[in-house]
Structure 1
Amino acid sequence: MNVDEVLLDGFSRPVEVCEMVLDGIDEETLHARLTETSNSIAWLVWHLAREQDVQIAPLAGREQVWTARGWHEQFGKPADDFGFGDTPEDVAAFRVSGPEVLLGYLHEVAEFVQDCVAGLTPEDLAEVIDESWDPPVTRGVRLVSIIDDAAQHAGQAAFVRGALGWDARRP
């Protein structure tokens, strides 16, 4: 297994978790929050896809799926919104008609990420892309950070679904 295959596998796992979390979900569960300050499953899945889209696009020198394919219009959100700094009121106001729109965006972002990551070389991964940190951040470190963030959000969504009574046993 080469390094880009490892990255591709890492990026695919949060998507698989989200697919399980969204399977058979109703609108009430999709938007439920465990506390007034916590995130809903809908917001977590949306933000997971957005954070990948907003961070991978500039690394690949490409336009975000969010704007290139009109997803911001489908979600009724500004082109530059990705959930960073959202207040509890912003999270409560985030609504979708069902899991299909979330899955549509998530899958398009997953395809985009796969396309952008496939074929990266060790030299690509070693390239410093952000010198504002000490030590400076390489493309590889940033990609691992994006995977980590996505995995945490997917786990949070699964936790919320479980806390709301979902039986997470796999067939």
Structure 2
Amino acid sequence: MTSKELLLDAFGRIREAVAATLDGVDGDALLRRPAGNGNSLAWLVWHLSRVEDAQLAGASGLEQVWTAQGFVGRFDLPLPERDTGYGHSSEEVDAVKVPAELLLEYYDAVHRQTVAFLESLGDEDMDRVIDTRWNPPVTLAVRLVSTIADCLQHAGQAAYAKGLDPASAL
């Protein structure tokens, strides 16, 4: 298995987790916050989508899907255009109120851009330094793996939040 095949599989698993979590979820379940102050399912899926979008756009030199395909306007959130959710307050988490269909449409668009980028890579690309602000500098491989880890963690949190909804057991 090549590094590209491994990465395609990992990012594909994120897509599967997002789709399964959003399947059959209603508006109330999307916005419910575990323990009253945890991150909502809607926020978690929006955030993981924004993370993958921002991180891979930066690594690939492409524009983020968020702005390039007009999702920023379609979501119409009271947040800065480039916001990805890092450090959000409780009020900012509550501001992410969008239907499951739009969340999945955005994630799918991000995933398509991710797949296209990954398809262009070879094993020799993995050691390319893409961020010199860190010590040691961040390579493409490290950025891709950290993005996978972050997105899978949030996908699991979203699935957990869905499982807390009594209606999801039906």
TM-score by length of structure 2 reads 0.93
Sequence identity, in percent? Answer: 45
**Partners of 1:55 and 1:35 in 2: how far apart?**
30
Match of 2:82 in 1: 80
Match of 2:141 in 1: 140
Gaps of 5+ in 1: none
* Residues 43 and 96 in structure 2, CA contact (< 8 A), matched pair in contact too: yes
1:5 equivalent to 2:2? Answer no
Higher mean displacement: 125-134 or 58-67: 125-134
Superposition pairs of residues 19-168 of structure 1, within 5 angstroms: 19-77=19-77, 78-96=80-98, 98-165=99-166, 166-167=168-169
**Partners of 1:32 and 1:43 in 2: how far apart?**
10
Counterpart residue identity of residue 2, structure 2: N
**Partners of 1:61 and 1:14 in 2: how far apart?**
22
**Partners of 2:89 and 2:35 in 1: how far apart?**
13
* Residues 21 and 158 in structure 2, CA contact (< 8 A), matched pair in contact too: yes
Give the aligned CA root-mean-square deviation in angstroms. 1.4
Using the TM superposition, give the Cα deviation of residue 129 of structure 1 relative to its aligned residue in structure 2, in angstroms: 1.5
* Residues 21 and 158 in structure 1, CA contact (< 8 A), matched pair in contact too: yes
**Partners of 2:8 and 2:111 in 1: how far apart?**
10
TM-score by length of structure 1 reads 0.92
Q: Matched residue of 1:35: which SS? A: helix
* Residues 36 and 88 in structure 1, CA contact (< 8 A), matched pair in contact too: no
* Residues 2 and 123 in structure 2, CA contact (< 8 A), matched pair in contact too: no
**Partners of 1:94 and 1:38 in 2: how far apart?**
13
**Superimposed CA distance per residue, residues 117-140 of structure 1 (whole angstroms, 9 cap, x where no aligned partner):** 113122211011222322221100
**Partners of 2:34 and 2:81 in 1: how far apart?**
29
Q: Matched residue of 1:126: which SS? A: coil
Using the TM superposition, give the Cα deviation of residue 63 of structure 1 relative to its aligned residue in structure 2, in angstroms: 0.6
**Partners of 1:68 and 1:164 in 2: how far apart?**
34
